[in-house]
């Protein structure tokens, strides 16, 4: 497992070999790395080859839900629901493709009930079908998880996110507020991380080449 810190330091150490007077922050490196990882994972979600890579998904146990006023629900189509539950906290940033978000599973706390995915159009189309509203369904909007026609108060969620710290913080009972985002795993298989690493180096090298070189390299780091 490679952490965010190790990934950023690997990039920095490689850059120092060729650009002694240039400095780039770990935060900027991670921003680039996440952008490129997000793009590549979105492609994999689109062709549905990602779901075989179990190690990429994060399990969030004990996600607390709260009941909201049906008539004030921001999703107009759900205002005919008998009950609406919404997550107390926002989900960590998801990855999207043409098939939707990167949530793989939502279930009750003991995994005995799998909660299906829906959207406003499908809900309106199917709500009058016999038995449809007897099963719970979930939907995401503005970072929140919604569950319709259910009073379930705690769920488990399995999803793909680059924000491992945010995933931890969403779990009820989370206490380790001092843990830095740099200590978390840099998401991606070994092969994917190497592709991202090379792409980040390529972009940073292109940026450095646009900056006039220091004629007297003295390890005085110039920031970008």
Stretch 198-208: mean pLDDT:
87
> What DSSP element (H or E) covers 169?
helix 164-170
Q: What is the pLDDT of residue 51?
A: 67
**Residues in Cβ contact with 175 at an 8 Å cutoff, skipping those fewer than 6 apart:** none
Residue 214 has pLDDT above 60, yes or no: no
73 — pLDDT class (breaks 50, 70, 90): very high
Using DSSP's 3-state secondary structure scheme, residue 154 falls into strand
**φ, ψ for residue 174 (rounded to 5)?**
-65, 130
- C-alpha 164/C-alpha 45 separation (Å) is 19
Q: Using one digit for the tens of pLDDT, what is the confidence trace for 49-66?
A: 776 677 889 999 999 999
- In this predicted structure, the answer to whether residue 150 has a pLDDT above a threshold of 50 is yes
Residue-by-residue DSSP string for 171-196: STT---TT--GGGSB--S-HHHHHHH
Per-residue pLDDT of 101-125, as tens digits, reads: 999 999 999 999 999 999 999 999 9
80 pLDDT above the threshold of 50: yes
Do β-strands 84-87 and 116-117 pair in parallel, antiparallel, or remain unpaired? unpaired
According to the model, what pLDDT value does residue 55 have?
81
Is it the case that residue 221 has pLDDT exceeding 60?
no
Measure Cα distances from 2 to 6, 38, 111 in Å. 6, 17, 30
For range 126-131, the mean pLDDT: 90
- Per-residue pLDDT reduced to its tens digit, 158-171: 999 999 999 999 99
Lowest mean pLDDT of 13-27, 143-157, 183-197, name the range: 13-27
pLDDT score of 98: 83
Mean pLDDT computed over 206-214: 58
DSSP 142: T
The helix or strand, by DSSP H or E, that contains position 15, with its residue range, turns out to be helix 4-18
Q: Give dist(CA 29, CA 133) in Å, integer.
A: 47
For residue 124, what are its two tokens? 């309106």
Whether 146 contacts 157, CB under 8 Å: no
**pLDDT tens sequence across 8-46:** 999 999 988 877 767 789 999 999 999 999 999 998 888
Q: What is the mean pLDDT of residues 72-92?
A: 95
- Sheet harboring 137-141: ordered strands across? 103-108, 154-159, 58-68, 84-87, 144-148, 137-141, 116-117
**pLDDT of 213 over the 60 cut:** no
| Residue 72: partners with Cβ closer than 8 Å, 6 or more residues away | none
- Give the pLDDT confidence score for residue 209 in this predicted structure: 56
Domain residues of the chain, as ranges? 4-53+189-223, 54-170
pTM listed for this prediction: 0.84
């Amino acid at each position: 497992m490679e952490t965010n810190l190790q990934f950023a330091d690997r990039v920095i150490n490689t850059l120092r070999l060729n650009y002694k007077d240039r400095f780039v922050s770990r935060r900027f490196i991670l921003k680039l790395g996440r952008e490129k990882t997000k793009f590549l994972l979105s492609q994999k979600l689109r062709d549905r080859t990602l779901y075989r890579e179990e190690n990429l998904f994060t399990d969030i146990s004990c996600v607390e839900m709260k009941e909201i006023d049906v008539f004030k629900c921001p999703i107009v189509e759900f205002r005919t629901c008998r009950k609406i539950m919404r997550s107390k906290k926002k989900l960590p940033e998801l990855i999207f493709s043409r098939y939707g978000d990167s949530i793989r599973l939502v279930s009750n706390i003991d995994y005995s009930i799998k909660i299906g995915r829906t959207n406003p159009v499908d809900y309106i189309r199917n709500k009058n079908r016999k038995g449809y509203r007897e099963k719970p369904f979930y939907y995401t909007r503005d970072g929140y998880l919604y569950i319709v026609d259910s009073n379930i108060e705690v769920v488990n969620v399995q999803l793909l996110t680059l924000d491992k710290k945010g995933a931890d913080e969403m779990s009820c009972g989370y206490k380790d507020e001092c843990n830095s985002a740099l200590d978390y795993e840099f998401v991606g298989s070994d092969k994917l991380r190497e592709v991202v690493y090379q792409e980040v180096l390529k972009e940073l090298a292109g940026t450095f080449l646009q900056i006039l070189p220091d004629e007297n390299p003295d390890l005085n780091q110039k920031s970008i």
